[in-house]
Amino acid sequence: GQNIDQPTEMTATEGAIVQINCTYQTSGFNGLFWYQQHAGEAPTFLSYNVLDGLEEKGRFSSFLSRSKGYSYLLLKELQMKDSASYLCAVTDSNYQLIWGAGTKLIIKP
């Protein structure tokens, strides 16, 4: 079966750095997305990785290792507005998006 694992919840301090991990087992791989979803709102696109390595976008970076079936999202200089759920999603061999359950990130002052 297809499976994506993320921690259910994480807590971090304002101004700090946090790493959210995602491991996947899917039938084929055609890219990995990270989305942010604030409570009661729609998911919004953060990043896309299809090749191994690190993609940096301002305070957010995403890393992919295809051989390990592993990705992480790194958030630096955390702000209170970063409190949200972070969703990992993998495009499988049929180009269907398989979604993880999301990691709820709580930022404390």
Partner 1 sequence: NAGVTQTPKFRVLKTGQSMTLLCAQDMNHEYMYWYRQDPGMGLRLIHYSVGEGTTAKGEVPDGYNVSRLKKQNFLLGLESAAPSQTSVYFCASSQDQGPQPQHFGDGTRLSIL
Does 97 sit near partner 1 (CB under 8 A)? yes
Does 96 sit near partner 1 (CB under 8 A)? yes
The piece of 15-23, 61-69, 71-79, 99-107 that touches partner 1 (CB under 8 A) is: 99-107
Binding to partner 1 by CB under 8 A, coded x per residue (else -) over 49-68, reads: -x------------------
Map tokens 């919840």 to a residue.
9
Q: Are 84 and 71 within 8 A, CB to CB? A: no
Beta strand residue intervals within the chain, DSSP E: 3-5, 9-13, 18-25, 32-37, 44-49, 53-57, 60-65, 70-75, 84-91, 97-99, 103-108
Upper half-sphere CA count for residue 24 (Cβ side, 13 Å): 30
The piece of 12-20, 21-29, 30-38, 57-65 that touches partner 1 (CB under 8 A) is: 30-38
For partner 1, which residue of 13, 19, 27, 44 counts as binding (CB under 8 A)? 44
Residues that bind partner 1 (CB under 8 A): 4, 8, 30-31, 33, 35, 41-45, 48, 50, 87, 89, 91, 95-102
